[in-house]
Structure 1
């Protein structure tokens, strides 16, 4: 019945379904264990009429014109420039750390001196990885690097990954940039916008094709079987000789053959409040206070005019496969041990000519939204 079966209805799966159906006239089945399409980008209107992002804020930004033009077939855009504040020492300052943050947190004379040194050493308008700043041969700049690291990064990272601050290598957050500018935007990409009618509508438009069927509320393991010895596939107890595109957990596809790969999960606590606005910006990070890492207020994103406001608090947590409150994997955990295990899975997958792995979970790589759309388009172009 189907030429290609795709596991997962997030961006990776939806892009490939759309391309194969419209450009190759293939018959496609998309299977997802959730009761909605869109993966973690799914948004919906809550009971109060506020458009919320069910799995935390997703803010589209890219410098890739091909990706932006491709998605523009399925949505109109509402320009949106994201700004984030961090609650530090009782006040809210812009992050990533920039010259405005510097002058908010440090005495004026010291801030002036540090600003001059930063510009003199690196130039204006550049982004400097904090690890590079820590390695500069200047006492004041070293002090600044340690100050930023301690106040903004280390405790946030500890909460995010469930580790003690002293157990976190500086290299983990070493790539996080310090902006030597007064640009408070979180991203500096050329294209920054949100879908005018929400992400769910984008996915509906992508998958709305007579060649595409969608099966929700379905764990692929209940309908799909893979024989490791013969490399043959079965769908609904009949042999399937088409292509499988898999975007889920790579270890689940292969029945944890080489052991389970670890992930971090998140818990979201939504609250509706009887005020027009709860906080100054869309997202405020809390690196050093409270158990949650950040609060997002959704009305800032789409400028909705509705009574009240809805916020969400984000709590990092352990990933537990059999616990429905903790079984959504958000972040692969990158360690040397996990990489060895992943490499075994990737090598094993190469034995299966009809299987293609795409996405954050299937490839165990961190992709932004635009990256995964670009990756899916590249996979399609490479298919024969």
Structure 2
């Protein structure tokens, strides 16, 4: 059995689904089901004995100790995190609580469990911590991409809290000898992405005729990684990564935000033309000819990092992983998924996904 935290979130749920498709090993899934945790993502596993869900907080030390004792996992995959930069600017405390305190308590519970294992099981145990490229700070236009040795320089409460969690994980390896692994990924996109993030927000707003808000001049550059590729990379690191090591996971797709928005608009023009869906501009009531008519530049985010880029050569060189999707194939799959799953989108937007969870899972959730 593996123990996944945050397995009802965007990346976590994609990982759980991929894991269950590709292995027979059971997943113990702990998630607090905050606003971004959605068990509807895992509806296909509702009747599966391979997936065991527990609603709970990674800060709950007693719960963690009980779960380790009862289920005896061979590995922990730690996805649980507050992850939205804008939310961290408005309310940073939740990010410190979940990302720093929560990671600390999970590490403590894992260490106590690991210390009690027999020699062979102790040697085989792994604690894999999923982190972000944002801990490295920002890059200039001509700076080399972030490598695993780039100094940390976080610029938002979110990235600072993730940096803190990374440092704790590293310290538990160097101080206690715990067999930890850390992955730092670039911007993920794909199915089940909560529609406050750039790509799903643009899709949802465009189909509703709402403005497509672009921060500043829209020239902030990010490396984009299809979530299925990221999950495959994590599986590979768990399988063959060297304890104590960090592996950067990137898609080799540096794109400016405005280019992302324009690409989404062009795909929607092709796959779901505004004229055929009778979409009008919500600001004027004018029927739309093209979705990019909705692009609206807004005041930039405070402290907005200008450029991120990931050098993922170590992962390819040492573990043989590289992304299967190009940005062109991945973004098309993503737009097609949102168009085909409008009921999921509607449930997230109106909050009814929470009602669904209660109806389907009741006390189990």
In the superposition, the TM-score normalised over structure 2's length comes to: 0.31
Judging by fraction of residues, say which structure has more helix.
2
Find the structure with the greater CA-based Rg: 1
Judging by fraction of residues, say which structure has more strand.
1
